[in-house]
Amino acid sequence: MNIALFHQDAIEDQLIREIEKSHAIVSIEKKTPRTAVLELKEALNIEQRTHLRNLGVLHQTDVGFLPKHFKGSDIKVLAMDMDSTLINIECIDEIADAVGKKKEVSEITEAAMRGEIIDFGESLRKRVALLKGVPASAFDEVFSQRLRLNPGAKELIAGAHAKGIHTLLVSGGFTFFTHKLQVQLNLSETHANQLEIVDGFLTGQVLGNIVDGEAKAAYVEARCLALGANKHAAITMGDGSNDLQMMHGAGLSIAYRAKPVVKEKADLAFDHVGLDACLDLL
C-alpha cells in the first residue's frame, strides 16, 4: 500500500515517525521536499485511512492513498472541473449577484455539489432560469473582477504540457468562461454548457445537452480512448458530487478543497497544497 504526503513547504520527519508508530513502512521516497511516497507493508482499512488523514491535518499535510494501478509515467490526460477547482468561484453564483439573486442560486449550487440534488441537469436549469434578464456584459465583469485561478493552477497546466499530457477542462459551468480559460492557459480541450443570449440578455435557458456528471466521465473516457489508453491514464480533479463519475476508476482522483462526499471517495484530497502538487508524482 502506497500513501502520498503533500506539504506546502517540506514534509516533516516527525509526521513520518508518527506514521511509523502504527504502520510498518517498507520504503520512503521523497519525490521533492514537499512530497513523499511511503510504501506500507499492509493495506489500510477505512478507519486507518481516516486516522492517517487526521494525523496529516495536525501537521498541515495532505495524506492520500495511491491506487495499485497508478503509474505516473502512464498518465496521458489531466481532466479538471472548473468552478471551485481550477478557479476560485462558482461562476453562476457570481452572475446571479448581478440581479441580486446570489443567495437563492448559491443555495441550490451548494446542495447540488454536496450531492443532495441527484439530478444536476435539473438543478442547473433551475439556477439558470433565475438568471433571466441578466445582461451578457455581466460575464466580463465576473471574469475580470471576481474570477481568479486557484493556487498552483498555472504551474499545473504548464507542467502537464511539458510532460506531453492532454489537458481537459470539463465543466458544469459555462462556455464563456471555459473558452476564456482555454486561451489564457492554452488548455488542450474544454467542454461546458452554453447559455442562450438574445439581444444581449440571458433568456434563462441552456442550449443543447447539459454537461453533467455522466457527460464529464464520457469526455474523459473518450479522450483516453482517442489516445490509445483506458481511464487509468487519466488524473481527474474536482470538488463536487457531479465530479465523482469522472473521478471513479481514474488513474488518480484528486479532491481539491472539496465537499466531504468527494473527499471520502477520492484517492487524494488537497486541502493544504496547491493544484500543482500532483506533478511531483509524475
Task: Write out the catalytic residue numbers.
Answer: 81, 83
Distance between CA 170 and CA 178 in Å, rounded? 9
Strand, coil or helix: 139: helix
Phi-psi region of 63 (alpha: psi -120 to 50; beta: other; left: phi over 0): beta
> Which among 241, 182, 175, 181 has a CA at the least distance from the CA of 208?
175
CA 250 to chain centre: 13
User: Which H or E element spans position 165?
Assistant: none
Q: Which three cell numbers stand for residue 142?
A: 465576473
**In Å, how far are 36, 67, 234, 265 from 261, measured between CA atoms?**
26, 19, 21, 7
Rounded to the nearest 5°, which phi and psi values hold at 32? -145, 175
Reported residue count of the chain is 282
Contact (CB, 8 A) for 235 and 77: yes
Distance between CA 131 and CA 18 in Å, rounded? 52
* Torsion (CA) 282, 67, 247, 74 in degrees, nearest 10: 40
Dihedral sign, Cα of residue 78, residue 161, residue 279, residue 85: negative
Q: Which three cell numbers stand for residue 157?
A: 497546466
Q: What letter does residue 67 receive in the DSSP assignment?
A: -
